[in-house]
Structure 1
Amino acid sequence: MSNLSLEEQNKKIRERMENLSEIRFEPFPQDSPWLRPIRMTFIQDGKKKQWDLMRAHESVSIVVFNTDRKKLVFVRQFRPAAYYACLPEKLKEVDLKKYPVTLGLTIELCAGIVDKDKPLVEIAQDELREECGYEAPLENFQKVITYRFISSSATKQTLFYVEVTDAMNIHSGGGAENEGELIEIIEMSIEEVKKYVASEEVQSPPCFLNGVSWFLANKKDRYDTL
């Protein structure tokens, strides 16, 4: 486990995360291992239609609650898609002073894609260890729901809930260094979480709101002792 405090660790990760330069946009590669675009044509109610879509990996996400400190544990990282959405179309050069890297930082549930041939709960356990540094036994994981996230792709995501303690924190987390992950660990009290999700603009994906809403509605006995 790192000797750095969480604040010190996040500061170092944030410095590396925001060390971004030479941004450019290129045509989509047909051999992408993550997204596979395709055009679907069909006839519906006698009318020919078409829809552009993508196939993407399924994923798991985890609501993590530290019972020792009564805090939810999230992750924050730079998401290129979130950053790109903040830029005007057909922008050739990105002015990082006008469009700072922080526009692409999102607070999310601990999560990961399903790219291994193993049970989903074991993938969730791996992601918890890699991203947040907690080693929780499989029996601590509760499967909540499997649902589809639908946009230009329709991917299946399974939500888990796990309770952890400080004793389970075996290392500082931060993601898999060999995969280039740079992840801040964010801890929020119940009041902080409620205030965040009630704000006018939440820099988080829908699965984050779904997981937090489920926790607040179903685990009141675990946190309503403050």
Structure 2
Amino acid sequence: MNNITNIVMKPLEKSIYLKPYTMHFTQNGAKRTWDLLSIHDSVAILLFNISRNVLIMVKQFRPAVYLGTINPEDRKMDSQIDTKKYPPENGITIEFCAGIVDKKLSLAEIAKEEILEECGYDVPLSSLQFIGSYRSGVGTSASVQTAYYCEITDEMKVTEGGGTEEELIEVIEMTVADVKKYVTQQDIVQSPPSFLFGIYWFLLNKGPSLKL
């Protein structure tokens, strides 16, 4: 997954996922503008394997995260990024299983499909517990992400997961102790805020009953 080479920055071309806009408006008598992106809504699933008391997560290369680690002076268009100065590992994130809402299915059905595709567990729809919906990237896209919690067992594992060839996802497991240590670091730059929300929800709502 980390064998990433020939990284080149180019201007945005035609995209099926992103639609850029500039909003013009007047606020308190002053004319303003704001650049926006329209993107798909998404689902995210917090998976807890009760057979071994571990949280199931995914690691993947996120180009946007990688770009954020590169000095603006080194982001020259049509020039290769120096991967020795900026190792691709800097763009590897730890996240929940997730996916965009791009099918005519219920959110729970999309979540079930993502669990199977990314993590390899075939779960019944009834096992998905709704956590809540919230907006991501309120400064640019404000898309809605819906989070679910799902308890799984080793017996539900039917494939190795890993997503599609385009995604290149690595499935990882973390103990509750490891997760607590991870989210209490000063710098948690390899995970999105929704990940932190999900972990703290889990510790607050499931920790006591699971005696974690």
Which position in structure 1 is the counterpart of 2:158? Answer: 170
Where structure 2 has 5 or more consecutive residues not aligned to the other structure, the ranges are none
Distance in 2 of aligned mates of 1:64 and 1:192: 15
For this pair of structures, how many residues does the alignment match? 206
**2:44 is the alignment partner of 1:58:** no
Aligned to 1:22: 6
Provide the C-alpha distance between the structure 2 equivalents of 1:127 and 1:199, rounded to a whole number of angstroms. Answer: 29
1:98 match? 85
User: 2:187 matched to which residue of 1?
Assistant: 201
One-letter identity of the residue aligned with 1:223? L
Q: Which runs of 5+ in 1 are unaligned?
A: 1-16
One-letter amino acid matched to 2:122: E
Between the two proteins, what is the percent identity of the paired residues?
48
Cα separation, partners in 2 of 1:215 and 1:101, compared to 1, 3 Å: same
Q: What is the CA-CA distance between 1:90 and the residue it aligns to?
A: 4.2
Which range is displaced more, 57-66 or 142-151? Answer: 142-151
Counterparts in 2 of 1:97-116, with a 5 A limit? 97-116=84-103
For residues 24-103 of structure 1, what are the structure 2 equivalents within 5 Å?
24-29=8-13, 31-91=14-74, 92=76, 93-103=80-90
Cα deviation 1:159-194 (Å, max 9, x = unaligned)? 0000000000001011123xx121111111110000
Q: CA deviation at 1:221?
A: 3.6
Whole-angstrom CA distance in 2 between matches of 1:182 and 1:173: 10
The DSSP-based 3-state class of the residue aligned with 1:112 is strand
> Is 1:154 aligned to residue 142 of structure 2?
yes
CA–CA separation in structure 1 for the residues paired with 2:2 and 2:94: 15
2:22 aligned counterpart, secondary structure = strand
Report how far residue 58 of structure 1 moved.
0.2
Distance in structure 2 (CA, Å) of the matches to 1:192 and 1:169:
23
Cα distance in 1, alignment partners of residues 208 and 161 from structure 2 = 28
Q: Please report the RMSD computed on the Cα atoms of aligned residues, expressed in angstroms.
A: 1.1
Given the alignment of the two structures, is residue 213 of structure 1 paired with residue 200 of structure 2, yes or no? Answer: yes
Q: 2:169 matched to which residue of 1?
A: 183
Report the AA paired with residue 145 of structure 2.
Q
SS state at 2:134 partner: strand
TM-score, normalised to structure 2, is 0.94
Tell me, in whole angstroms, the C-alpha distance in 2 between the residues paired with 1:109 and 1:204: 9
List structure 1 runs of 4+ shifted beyond 6 angstroms: none
